[in-house]
Structure 1
Amino acid sequence: MNLEIISNELKKREINKIVKFNEPLKKHTSFRIGGPVDIFCTPNTIEELKKVISISKEYDIPFWVIGNGSNILILDQGVRGIVIKLNQGFKKIIFLDKIVKVGAGVSLIYLGKIALKRELSGLEFVCNIPGTLGGAIINNASFNGNCMANIVQEVTFLTEENNLESASKSDLDFNYRKCNLKGRSAIILGATLQLKEGNKEKIESKIRKNIKIRKAKQPIDKLSAGSIFKNPPGYYAAELIEKVGAKGLSQGKAEVSCKHANFIINNGNATARDVLYLIEEIEKRVKEAFNIELNREIQILGEP
């Protein structure tokens, strides 16, 4: 990839101000691990985003959208291509009574707090999920029996062909940790959520309960990327990991959490290689002990 040519193209299309070259991605992920990306884009408008995607297509450059980077491991040599992080223009929230229109870049924790102020119920479960709305929809984020599929009514996105489209909840085929936009090159721009009238004290009580559960069971005070593996049908990944003796296992500065075995934590300057060693070791042990293949929930990007 000729970055000088790309730089000139960005200037021609007047989007060079939203682009950085060789940006360290450890600054943009909750793991704080990984190398730089060739091109880092922070579009504020749909038009700016479309221009970035057009350049990606014209020059055959792969791209990824990372949100808050809360379920991603960036490999040590970084990412060859474009990484997009939606900026302020995609962080708007509009309340229409119990209907809420939300930009894909909005923090779930912030969204939950705003809903609380308006005494609207339905978002209590997101108040301790460190991601953005777009990622939460793609992965059908859930906690304590509640999930995004319960409140999403419509989603707006850019298609692989760079066209603006919308899909209703029934068209999205929500399932465990996914909807049918996952795995495609579609980029979620925003969504319409259906909430309910609630009592502020009851909403606050649910939020406190959820936060208490998460603090008790998960290492939220440590650098991590959330759950590493999906739960296999009929099992809990953390339980399987614990049974094969991998809880507390460490490599370099990476460690399988002693609080929750489905979390790997960065104890300071861990490398992606350290984390990958633990992931692969866990997969091997669980396969040998139970003949179960764990599926990764974490997204891994870049070159080792």
Structure 2
Amino acid sequence: MKKTVEELSFLGEVKQNEPLKNHTTWKIGGSAGILYTPIDIASLKKAMELITQRGLKWVVIGKGSNLLVSDKGFDGVVIKLAEDTSPLVVNGTTVTAGGGYPLIKLATVLTRDGLGGLEFAGGIPGTVGGAVFMNAGAHGADMSTILTKAHILYPDGTFRWLTKDELGFSYRTSVLQKNRGICIEAELELTKGDKEAIKAVLQKNKDYRRHTQPWNFPCCGSVFRNPLPDHAGRLIEEAGLKGHRIGGAQVSNMHANFIVNVADATCEDVLNLIAHIKETIKKEKNIDLHTEVEVMGDR
């Protein structure tokens, strides 16, 4: 591991035994064997080749939303894409943004140029790469409605641009969840419109999230995928589980599809609460709930 640390340090910032709770919105999780932040895409390519050659475990994170990290951490390389890993390029209505670029910031910046289509992202606390990975969305729109292609780096160091069709988007799903690769850039096709009108919709979406979702506590966003056409939050609330608590993890009293960290919750607290919710909904409604949260680390 020492040799790997030395070699990666030439390709970016390296931290050993870094607490991952400092890099997730849930504020939960043990330490990373190595936390690596690449200087640029060329450095990341070399790093991936090195990691693959050494047979090391690896994962990639952005803002750490939608992520539950094991209490034991991750004994491998955690790759964290920075905002400036690749540049933001705006060419008319075509926008290319790096995988580490914050989604909310991107929506805000593009609003100033009068570019619409990303207003749904108001309040989504992730990165562009994470949004592509999960096909993030809200308010009746998602990444598949604006993305034209994504630049993917594979573990062997090869690159490929995948079209929207090749990404296999569906509800909170993309092909990247099965075929491992890192979204280093995404090309979006937006629409030119009135700046103030676009800004108003974006702000409305931000306000809606602020008033209906419990971001005053550490959380990851929605825990369960909606069993369409129904909504997970409605089912959980109807089952009387709002406020139900296991350890330091609690079903939010504001929004039942949120689990909040109210008192130094552990990963096991959250997993046990998720299991209880699933069992309850299955028993009462005969509906299987599925999480949209990524669980990461050693168990």
Q: Please give the TM-score of this superposition, normalised by the length of structure 2.
A: 0.95
Residue of 48, 56, 66 corresponding to 1:71: 66
The 5-angstrom pairing of residues 23-102 of structure 1 reads: 23-102=18-97
The 5-angstrom pairing of residues 160-179 of structure 1 reads: 160-179=155-174
1:249 partnered with 2:244: yes
Q: Report the 3-state secondary structure (helix = DSSP H, G, I; strand = E; otherwise coil) of the residue aligned with 1:90.
A: coil
Q: Distance in 2 between matches of 1:87 and 1:113?
A: 18
Question: Contact 2:223/2:293 (CA < 8 Å) preserved in 1?
Answer: yes
Could you tell me how far 1:254 is from its partner in structure 2? 1.4
Task: Give the match for residue 275 of structure 2.
Answer: 280
Question: Contact 2:40/2:86 (CA < 8 Å) preserved in 1?
Answer: no
Aligned length: 299
Q: Distance in 1 between matches of 2:197 and 2:151?
A: 31
Kindly report the root-mean-square deviation, in angstroms, between the aligned alpha carbons of the 2 structures: 1.6
Q: Report the 3-state secondary structure (helix = DSSP H, G, I; strand = E; otherwise coil) of the residue aligned with 1:274.
A: helix
Question: Contact 1:253/1:266 (CA < 8 Å) preserved in 2?
Answer: yes
Q: Distance in 2 between matches of 1:246 and 1:155?
A: 39
1:95–1:144 Cα change, 3 Å: same
Q: Report the 3-state secondary structure (helix = DSSP H, G, I; strand = E; otherwise coil) of the residue aligned with 1:173.
A: coil
Question: Contact 2:49/2:156 (CA < 8 Å) preserved in 1?
Answer: no
Question: Contact 2:245/2:273 (CA < 8 Å) preserved in 1?
Answer: yes
1:128-185 CA distance string (max 9 Å, x none): 1110000001111111111111111111111243201101222222110012222321
Could you tell me how far 1:88 is from its partner in structure 2? 4.4
Q: Kindly provide the amino acid, as one letter, of the partner of residue 127 in structure 1.
A: G
Residue of 219, 228, 231 corresponding to 1:224: 219
Identity, in percent, stands at 38
Q: Which runs of 5+ in 2 are unaligned?
A: none
Question: Contact 1:117/1:200 (CA < 8 Å) preserved in 2?
Answer: yes
Q: Report the 3-state secondary structure (helix = DSSP H, G, I; strand = E; otherwise coil) of the residue aligned with 2:177.
A: coil
Task: Give the match for residue 17 of structure 2.
Answer: 22
Q: Kindly provide the amino acid, as one letter, of the partner of residue 76 in structure 1.
A: D
Q: Kindly provide the amino acid, as one letter, of the partner of residue 33 in structure 2.
A: D
Task: Give the match for residue 130 of structure 1.
Answer: 125
Q: Report the 3-state secondary structure (helix = DSSP H, G, I; strand = E; otherwise coil) of the residue aligned with 1:61.
A: coil
Task: Give the match for residue 212 of structure 1.
Answer: 207
Answer with 95-104 or 207-216: which moved more: 207-216
Q: Please give the TM-score of this superposition, normalised by the length of structure 1.
A: 0.93
Answer with 231-240 or 247-256: which moved more: 231-240
Q: Report the 3-state secondary structure (helix = DSSP H, G, I; strand = E; otherwise coil) of the residue aligned with 2:64.
A: coil
The 5-angstrom pairing of residues 138-177 of structure 1 reads: 138-177=133-172
Q: Report the 3-state secondary structure (helix = DSSP H, G, I; strand = E; otherwise coil) of the residue aligned with 1:192.
A: strand
Question: Contact 1:160/1:184 (CA < 8 Å) preserved in 2?
Answer: no
Could you tell me how far 1:251 is from its partner in structure 2? 1.7
Q: Report the 3-state secondary structure (helix = DSSP H, G, I; strand = E; otherwise coil) of the residue aligned with 1:69.
A: coil
Q: Report the 3-state secondary structure (helix = DSSP H, G, I; strand = E; otherwise coil) of the residue aligned with 2:34.
A: strand
Q: Report the 3-state secondary structure (helix = DSSP H, G, I; strand = E; otherwise coil) of the residue aligned with 1:18.
A: strand
Q: Report the 3-state secondary structure (helix = DSSP H, G, I; strand = E; otherwise coil) of the residue aligned with 2:151.
A: strand
1:253-281 CA distance string (max 9 Å, x none): 21100111110001131111211111111
Question: Contact 1:251/1:275 (CA < 8 Å) preserved in 2?
Answer: yes
Could you tell me how far 1:91 is from its partner in structure 2? 4.7
Q: Distance in 2 between matches of 1:117 and 1:232?
A: 36
Q: Distance in 2 between matches of 1:72 and 1:285?
A: 23
Question: Runs in 1 of length 4+ with deviation above 6 angstroms?
Answer: none
Residue of 284, 289, 293 corresponding to 1:289: 284
Q: Kindly provide the amino acid, as one letter, of the partner of residue 4 in structure 1.
A: K
Q: Distance in 1 between matches of 2:78 and 2:231?
A: 32
Q: Distance in 1 between matches of 2:134 and 2:286?
A: 26
1:87–1:208 Cα change, 3 Å: closer
Q: Distance in 1 between matches of 2:86 and 2:154?
A: 20
Q: Distance in 1 between matches of 2:208 and 2:84?
A: 34
